[in-house]
Structures are given as structure tokens and as C-alpha cells.
Amino acid sequence: MNIKKTAAALMAAAMMLGTTAVTGGNAITASAAKNRNGICTYTYIDVKTDADAYASKAGWLDGGDAVSILGEKYDSNGELWYKIQYELLIGYVPAASISENGKGYQPADYSGDFESYMESQGFPESYRIYLRKLHEQHPSWIFKAQHLDIDWNNAVNAETVVGRNLVHNGAPESWKSKARGAYDANTGTWYQLDTGWVAASDEIIKYYLDPRNFLSENYVFMFENLSYDPAVHTRDGVEAILSGTFMDGGYTCPDTWEWFTYADTFMEAAEISGVSPYHLASRCRNEQGVYGAPQSLGTIWGYENYFNFFDVGAYATASLTAGEMAARYATNYDPDYLLPWTNQYRSIVGGSIFLGNGYINREQDTLYLQKFDMVDGGNGYYAHQYMTCVFGQANEAVSLLNAYSDDVLASAMEFKIPVYDNMPETRCLKPGTVLGEDEIPVKNSGKTVKKDNNNNTNNTNTSNNSNSVSKVDEKYDINSDGNVNITDASVMTAHILSRKAMNSSSLKKADIDKNGRFEVTDAILVIKYLKNIV
């Protein structure tokens, strides 16, 4: 297990218990050194439990890590040590390894010879064609190859086991598996392995498993390290993720009558668990949707006022829905995770600790690795996967992008990008698409980016020369602006991905096929209309 993160988890436990961290016999509080900061100038340095080269190891720092300086201490040889805090890790390092306020520190410069850097990382050429573009857009970003030592075909075989990856029942047929246990050939219907969800096809699984499909600004955040960084993660960023959802504002705990804001709760959960608050907020938004699900609203019949924001233990059985199982899990007793979850605060903070201990601190520290378990964090490979939705990590990656300000995006962000053995020479395409990237300008939280249609979680491939049609059919004018164009499809897509809910008028119009409900297939009909093929 990662030593630095293990130390962070221990510090988080101490914070939960309301204790003061103690090292070398001196009590420390997080506010002890508000005004002293520094940057590690060594490529690597051990963090010790005391100002002594022979003291035990508490963790480590990498070059460029930003730290808070909590105090000073001289060792028996007269050498000055700094007591530092990095995220939740506290310990001692030689003062010579820290540049206070970053004076004189020069970060590694990959821009001068990015090709040599990619070569040194061992990125295949099929990765580099996308990384070059990302590097041009964000020269300060750091891309590290994560060589998994797993054969691509072995990974595909493991992930295509029926039931391990699911798609909506209304997804295109090419997305749905016809393997034994997934499809009834006699009736021509798919078995629902969870309410509204069926087994994903091999082709769509390979598409989402292939990291090369997501090396674009919209989706690269599925490879971001998800540990909490107070220098990067802000309350404003959390609010941006929660905006327009049932978590946009505050709540009253039904058992204690205390009032909190959701944004403050996620920030506190991050401090305690060591997990990025942006990840926590986007995970809850993705799991619970814009309006909230019964298990996050505390309205499951028989389990009223029990909450499960992260859907821990949520899976359907013969007698209970996934939501009911989530509510049942919330009734358990486990003080390590603040169970039972009798209010929103306990569920969010306790669920965050669960996520940190169960995934982030078990080497599954990116969205990709939580979806596809390609590391052995003490529990083997493939089976320890947070979600069954095959495209869930892509949705959450977009939410993370939306949370970051332009200043944050200009900083040195680090991405761990998986590389498999014996990969296909070219990326695996989404079923029903052709090779090529049509780019449509989209707007995310004030940041103009370009959307790669092959990365869209819906099967909606639109060419630039067919964004509108001259003759308007009001049936396809979803936002009622008198035009039919890509905006109408975007409104529908945003609702599907829980980014922004449609109003009641648009939602009614979005039921294109008039089957009484709005589904992915309705959005596809709009796209087809734009392409003049209906």
C-alpha cells in the first residue's frame, strides 16, 4: 500500500477522533503555521516522524510538492529540520529540501523536449498523438505512464464477463450484449441485471476500457490523482459541481436538527478522508442525479431518514431494489464509517471515508482505476470496481473539468494514464462510429473546450456541416427557440448526464418517440434529424 497515503489515512483517523497530531513529543495543530509555505526541491525525500535521520518513516515528498511549514527543530548534529504538512501527512524533513515560498524553485520543464519526455515514460505512439495536443493546450500538465503489466486481451476478457459492465436498457443495440445470460434470443429482449440496466457489449466495453479514447480536455480527468489537495480544491469549485442539483444549498439533519451546507460538508469530508472534494461531489451527483434519489433523500419506504449518498452496498436482489439495498446498508453499525447514516452529514462524511479507505488508499486513485480494477491494492484484480455503469467514469471526468477554475487548469496537474501490454495499434472505436474526430465547441463553467464526439457518452456523432437544418420541424425544437440545431441535442444530453435538468416544457417535447418517457434514443432521433436521415 502507498506509504504516503497510509500516513494520510492515519492522520484522517486522528482528525475524526478530534485528537491533536503529535510527533516528536510536540503537539501540532493545522493552524500552527498559516503564513509559512514551501515547495520540495528534491526529486524525492523521506518524511520522518522526528527531526532525526534515523527516525521512522512517516511518508515521503516528491519534487514540486507544496507544503505548509509548521515549525522548526534542530537535530543532534545541529542540522535544521522543518516540521511540514503535505495534505494530511505531517512529519519532518531537512530544511535544505524545502524552498520557502518557492523562491528559486524551478519545476521540471517538459515543454523543451516533450517528445523525449514521452519516450522516457514509455508512451506508445498511439498515445502520443493525443498527448501532444493536450500538452500544447496545457504545457504545465504532467502526464505519467502507468504501465500495468496486464495484457490487453486479458483485461478485455475480465471486463466482458456478463454483469460486470452495464448500459441503459434504452441504449443503442450495438451497446448491448447478446451473450448467454444477457439476451433472450427467443423473445428478442435483454435481461435486466439491475432495474433499467442490461449487460454491455464487448465493443462498448473495449471503447471505454481503451485509455486513448479519453486523452482529450473533456475526459482526461478520469486519470487525475484523486487525493485531496487544499491548494487546488476550493469551496467555490464544489459549489460549481453542485449547482442546479438538490445539493445546491443546505439541509437540516432530521435527527439532530443541525443545519449545514452541502458544499461545507463535502469540504469537511475531504479534509477527513483525504479524498478530493471535487471527486466526492461529482460522484454523489452522478450517483443520485439532479433531483436526488430516494436513498439520498431519506424517503425509502421502511428506511425513512436513512441516507446513502454514495450508494454503498447498492445492488438489486430478487426481493429488493438497489435503492432499498442502499438504504438497508445505511442502517448498519460501524463507527469507523459513521454508520448508521441517520442524516445527510453522516452519510457524506462516512461514505467519503469508505471511499478513501476502500479505493483511493488501495491504489485505485483515479476514476479510471475505480471503474476498471487493474491494480492489486491487496484485493486482487478486476472485481473491486465501484460502479457497473460502463461510462460512469466519463461522466464524472466532465464534472471534474467543470469544477476547476482557469487558474487551477493552468497549474501543474498530474495525470496517471494506464498502458496495457499488446494493445491494438489504433484505439477501439465506439460501436456504430467511424474513425475521425468531429469537433463541436461547447462551454463548461466559462471554459471553452472542444468536444470529441467519439468520447460523448451517448451515440451522437454530428459533423460540423450539419449543425442545423433550414426547415424547422417543431417536434425537434426542444428548447423552443424557433431553431433546430445542435443546441437542442446538447440540452437533451446535459439532462441525460445530470449536468443540467430540462424544464417541464422541454422535457415533454424531448419525448420524441412518444412512448411516455425521455430516453437516450430520443436524443439520437434529434441527431438523425440534424443529419437529414430521418
Give the torsion through C-alpha atoms of 322, 327, 328, 334, to 10 deg: 120
Is residue 58 within 8 A of residue 65, CB to CB? The reply is no
Distance in angstroms (rounded) separating the CA atoms of residues 230 and 271: 8
Could you tell me the pTM of the whole model?
0.53
Taking the C-alpha atoms of residue 208 and residue 368, their distance in angstroms, rounded to an integer, is 9
Q: What are phi and psi of 153, to 5 degrees?
A: -65, -35
Q: What pLDDT, on the 0 to 100 scale, is given for residue 295?
A: 96
Q: What is the rounded distance in angstroms from the CA atom of residue 268 to the CA atom of residue 270?
A: 5
Q: How many CA atoms lie within 13 A of 385 on its CB side?
A: 21
| 293 φψ region: left (φ > 0), alpha (ψ -120 to 50), beta (else) | beta
Sort residue 380 into left (φ over 0), alpha (ψ -120 to 50) or beta: left
pLDDT, tens digit, 9 for 90 and up, residues 235-269: 988 898 898 999 999 999 999 999 999 999 999 99
Q: What pLDDT does residue 495 have?
A: 65
pLDDT of 481: 60
DSSP state of 385: -
Report the alpha-carbon distance of residue 237 to residue 308 in Å, rounded: 23
SS3 393: helix
Is the separation of the CB atoms in 238 and 267 below 8 Å? yes
Q: How far apart are CA 490 and CA 6, in angstroms?
A: 42
Q: Max alpha carbon distance in the chain (Å)?
A: 84
Contact criterion met (CB below 8 Å) for 172 and 355: no
Three-state SS string over 70-107 comes to: EEEEECCCCCEEEEEEECCEEEEEEHHHEEECCCCCCC
What dihedral angle (degrees, nearest 10) is formed by the CA atoms of 427, 428, 433, 435?
20
3-state SS, 216-245, equals CCCCHHHHECCECCCCCCCHHHHHHHHCCC
In DSSP terms, which residues pair with 93 in a beta bridge?
Answer: 82
CATH class of the domain at 3-100: mainly beta
- Which of 155, 202, 201, 161 is CA-nearest to residue 418? 155
160 torsion bin: left (phi>0), alpha (psi -120 to 50), beta (else): alpha
User: Cis (ω within 30 of 0) for the bond into 277?
Assistant: no
Extract the runs of DSSP E, i.e. beta strands, from 164-280: 166-168, 183-184, 189-190, 197-199, 250-252, 259-261
C-alpha cell at 122: 514509455
Q: What is the DSSP letter of 386?
A: S
**SS3 of 451, please?**
strand
Q: Which phi and psi angles does 424 have, rounded to 5°?
A: -60, 150
The distance of Cα 134 from the centroid of its chain, to the nearest Å, equals: 19
Residue from 92, 96, 78 nearest 28 by CA: 92
Cα–Cα distance for residue pair 94/51, rounded to 1 Å: 8
Cβ–Cβ under 8 Å, residues 75 and 81? yes
The two beta strands, 98-100 and 37-40, are antiparallel
Residues of the chain with pLDDT under 70: 1-35, 43-44, 63, 87, 101-112, 405, 407-408, 411-412, 433-473, 480-483, 485-487, 490-491, 493-505, 528, 530-534
Cα separation, 484 vs 477, in Å, equals: 5
Q: Would you say the C-alpha torsion 447, 281, 490, 205 has a positive or negative sign?
A: positive
CATH class of the domain at 464-530: mainly alpha
Burial class of residue 178 in the structure, from the number of CB atoms within 10 Å of its CB (0-12 exposed, 13-18 middle, 19+ buried): middle
Question: Other CB atoms closer than 10 Å to residue 335's CB: what's the count?
Answer: 9
Domain boundaries, the chain: 3-100, 155-397, 464-530
Q: Would you state the pLDDT for residue 486?
A: 62
* Beta carbons of 210 and 204 less than 8 angstroms apart: no
Q: What does the CA dihedral 240, 402, 200, 418 come to, rounded to 10 degrees?
A: -130
